Chain A
Amino acid sequence: MTLGLYMAQRISALIMAPLVLLHIGVMIYAIQGGLSAAEILGRTKGSILWFAVYGTFVAAVSVHGAIGLRTVLSEWMGLRGGTLNAAAWAIFALLLVLGMLAVHGVTAR
């Protein structure tokens, strides 16, 4: 864990924190009085705002999670150097691709 990785993990956490609160807040607010999947998609499809919110969320999660799991792989499984960095990049790419597919699924027209 270098200073660069430490800062990337802290900054991604700072981005995630308000987005998590927004995510949970909107969920609780929106389901009052019942809400169907069709009604949700009706609001998110074609919305640049929701794409920006969840796109940023996914990017921050990918950075944050990959660095955290990098530490776990290093300390618990003894991975070092190139192998460790390759594993972290793979986790980052996996989280980003899966997350962006989901964002695309709910916001693309």
Chain B
Amino acid sequence: MANETHMSVSVWRGDAVGSFQPFEVKVEDNQTVLDVVAWIQQYADPTLSYRYACRVGMCGSCAMMVNGTPRWTCRTHVKKVLVDGHMQIAPLRNLPVIKDLATDMDPFFDKWVAAEGVHHPTLTRNDPIEALDPAAEARVESAAGIECINCSVCYAACDTVANNPDFLGPAALQRAWSVYNDSKNADKQAVLDAVSGVGGCHNCHSQGSCAVHCPNALNPMNAIAGLKRETARNFFKRRS
């Protein structure tokens, strides 16, 4: 039972089919959700599967659903999320579960590629390095999304992804917007074409869950609005 010295933690066990297993974990002064998961795996049940790497909010590996909300667990303090001494930890929403808290991230990263968020170089390795103006309007737009750590929190938060498995999702589209605005990107049209298909940016309902839950306070919804604007502009240009 939960009291001042211990918390009760419900952890998802299984894959798509499974159930929550209760654990008793000692409350510490400074403790993240990831610390709790690690403690359970090390001291209570070594068969628990989960994923993490850097523990400092850089790698984007440890995102999970905490009390139904997607969070980066390494930077989420237990005290912030405990409700009456209890919390529930589940695998990320909108992704297939491999086992327990580990999800299959392939659909998420496949969509990054599908959104054409890849570099199309303007120069070769033999050319001198091109200088960038950090204050240029397009550079500011591009820079707004580059702190993304690929954690998939926005993808898990998105109701459009939940209802439309084809939708590329906030992170991939934000990447496409960063690449589109990069002056070192040679093929803007490839990006616009990639985000204009069946699962493209036009599916977004601007609900904004991505911007609310992004642990780095990025705004993918704004990037998607930019893509909608540019594709609409381009729609008439290409026909004239």
Residue-wise interface mask of B (192-236) relative to A, using a CB-CB cutoff of 8 A (1 in contact, 0 not): 000011101011000000000000000000000000100110010
Which residues of B are found within 8 Å of A7, using beta-carbon distances? 232, 235
Contact indicator B202/A75 (Cβ below 8 Å): no
Contact indicator A5/B164 (Cβ below 8 Å): no
Which residues of A are found within 8 Å of B32, using beta-carbon distances? none
Residue-wise interface mask of A (45-74) relative to B, using a CB-CB cutoff of 8 A (1 in contact, 0 not): 000000000000000000000000001001
* Residue B160 at the chain A interface, CB threshold 8 Å: yes
* Residue A27 at the chain B interface, CB threshold 8 Å: no
* Residue B163 at the chain A interface, CB threshold 8 Å: yes
Contact indicator A74/B164 (Cβ below 8 Å): yes
Contact indicator A2/B163 (Cβ below 8 Å): no
| A2 and B164 contact, Cβ closer than 8 Å, known pairs A7-B232, A10-B232 | no
Which residues of B are found within 8 Å of A6, using beta-carbon distances? 202, 228, 231-232
Contact indicator B164/A75 (Cβ below 8 Å): yes
In the bound complex, how far is the Cα of B201 from the Cα of A2, in angstroms?
8
Residues of chain A in range 72-107 having any CB-CB distance to chain B below 8 Å? 74-76
Point out the residue from A3, A5, A75 that lies within 8 Å of B163, measured CB to CB: A75
Which residues of B are found within 8 Å of A10, using beta-carbon distances? 232
Which residues of B are found within 8 Å of A76, using beta-carbon distances? 163
* Residue A1 at the chain B interface, CB threshold 8 Å: yes
In the bound complex, how far is the Cα of B160 from the Cα of A76, in angstroms?
10
Which residues of A are found within 8 Å of B198, using beta-carbon distances? 1-2
Contact indicator B202/A1 (Cβ below 8 Å): yes
Which residues of A are found within 8 Å of B228, using beta-carbon distances? 6
Contact indicator A2/B232 (Cβ below 8 Å): no
**In the complex, which residue of chain B has the Cβ closest to the Cβ of A71?**
B203
CB distance from B56 to the nearest CB of A (A): 37
Which residues of A are found within 8 Å of B196, using beta-carbon distances? 2-3
Residues of chain A in range 1-37 having any CB-CB distance to chain B below 8 Å? 1-3, 5-7, 10
CB distance from A1 to the nearest CB of B (A): 5
**In the complex, which residue of chain A has the Cβ closest to the Cβ of B228?**
A6
In the bound complex, how far is the Cα of B164 from the Cα of A75, in angstroms?
6
In the bound complex, how far is the Cα of B200 from the Cα of A6, in angstroms?
10
CB distance from B226 to the nearest CB of A (A): 14
Contact indicator B202/A3 (Cβ below 8 Å): yes
In the bound complex, how far is the Cα of B232 from the Cα of A10, in angstroms?
10
Contact indicator A75/B200 (Cβ below 8 Å): no
| A2 and B160 contact, Cβ closer than 8 Å, known pairs A7-B232, A7-B235, A10-B232 | no
**In the complex, which residue of chain B has the Cβ closest to the Cβ of A72?**
B163
CB distance from B208 to the nearest CB of A (A): 17
**In the complex, which residue of chain A has the Cβ closest to the Cβ of B202?**
A6
Which residues of B are found within 8 Å of A74, using beta-carbon distances? 163-164
CB distance from A71 to the nearest CB of B (A): 8
- 6 further interface pairs, Cβ-Cβ under 8 Å (given A2-B197, A7-B235): A2-B200, A6-B228, A6-B232, A10-B232, A71-B203, A75-B164
A-B contact pairs, 7 of them (CB 8 A): A3-B196, A3-B200, A3-B231, A6-B202, A6-B231, A71-B203, A75-B164
Interface residues of B (CB under 8 A from A): 160, 163-164, 196-198, 200, 202-203, 228, 231-232, 235
